[in-house]
Amino acid sequence: MGIGWVFLAFVLLAAGVIVSRARVYGRLFGDDHFIELGRGLAGVKAAALDRIADGVDAEPPARGDPRALLTSSGLLVVYTITWHETEFVHHCSVGATRSVTAHAVGETFVLFAATVLGLPIGKMTFRLAESTVHHGEAVVDQAGHRELVAAGPVVVTPNNVADLRRQAMEARTGIRWH
């Protein structure tokens, strides 16, 4: 009888964890969260354009920096632009603040952010840090940078969020992570 109670406790614990994670991922991958992120990225892009750093002296954004966006679901997205002699480096980082960043989360949201920011996904390099933060980087010349500035961010609305999310999910198939 004792082993039955242990087994039942294990099953109930496992079910609780599954239900808890399902709720977290349901909110994280829900339309409202993608819309929140998309709307916030407009300000993040404007702040990054206002603070283009010299590649030699570039420092990571500090707490409260407008180039960083923390969503209601605990996803932190940081977008910076640095200048290196003849090229601009547009860098986007995505990480979960409450736990490790599952690859499906980091990959999807770095690609979604790149899409909204107008970055050329086909020309980007992607890296997964030991901390589980996902990074995407586009290196462009002056003309490419001017195009990114002129394009502005994609406006995310209830009418286009499903299509933008699908684009990010589909882009995952052609990405190599280092």
Domain ranges in the chain are 31-174
Cα–Cα distance, 76 to 96 (Å, whole number):
6
Cα–Cα distance, 160 to 163 (Å, whole number):
5
The predicted pLDDT at position 27 comes to 78
CB-CB contact of 38 with 164 (8 Å)? yes
CB-CB contact of 170 with 160 (8 Å)? no
Q: What is the DSSP letter of 177?
A: B
CB-CB contact of 52 with 87 (8 Å)? no
Q: What is the DSSP letter of 96?
A: E
Torsion over CA: 44, 47, 53, 57 (sign)? negative
Provide the residue-wise pLDDT of the chain in tens; the chain has 178 residues.
Answer: 567 665 555 544 444 444 444 454 567 999 999 999 999 999 999 999 999 988 766 677 887 899 999 999 999 999 999 998 899 999 999 999 988 999 999 999 999 999 999 999 999 999 999 999 999 999 999 999 999 999 989 999 999 999 999 999 899 888 899 9
Cα–Cα distance, 173 to 89 (Å, whole number):
24
This model's pTM is above 0.95: no
The predicted pLDDT at position 4 comes to 63
Cα–Cα distance, 6 to 37 (Å, whole number):
43
